[in-house]
């Protein structure tokens, strides 16, 4: 099973052919996408100019699909991020939990 990696459309236009996500938990961003009511899945639309698939988040922000990740690469990144989050004394994701509960308001949420 492949994982997916998306990048915002403005960033896509300046992205190089090799894009690597950061493994810092403070840079993590949860993005909600609307699902198709019948098929219960997220679908993108094909951009006529670029030929890329574009996905629209619930906020209206657009993202371009770059491609599938190799399963072992996705597992390695997930493991690395998990390792950093599990370090004793780290509290970098507390803000993310509180934002999810509506306790923190900012321009990105």
Q: What is the pLDDT of residue 83?
A: 82
Q: Is the pLDDT of residue 80 over 80?
A: yes
CA distances from 97 to 39, 46, 56, 106 (A): 30, 34, 23, 13
Full-prediction pTM beyond 0.85? no
Pick the residue with more confidence: 31 or 4? 31
Tell how many helices (H) and how many strands (E) occur in the chain. 3, 4
- Going from N- to C-terminal start, the domains of the chain cover 3-100
Supply the DSSP symbol for 70: P
Give 10-68 pLDDT, tens digit per residue: 544 554 445 666 777 777 777 888 888 898 888 999 999 988 899 998 889 898 888 88
Structure tokens at 1: 């099973």
């Amino acid at each position: 099973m492949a994982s997916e990696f998306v990048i915002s459309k403005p960033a896509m236009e300046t992205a190089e052919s090799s894009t690597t996500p950061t493994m810092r938990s403070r840079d993590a961003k949860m993005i909600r996408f609307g699902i198709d009511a019948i098929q219960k899945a997220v679908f993108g639309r094909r951009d006529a100019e670029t030929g890329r698939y574009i996905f629209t988040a619930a906020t209206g922000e657009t993202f371009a699909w770059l491609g599938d990740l190799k399963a072992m690469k996705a597992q390695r990144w997930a493991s690395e991020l998990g390792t950093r989050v599990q370090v004793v004394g780290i509290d970098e994701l507390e803000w993310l939990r509180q934002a999810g509960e509506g306790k923190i308001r900012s321009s990105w949420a």
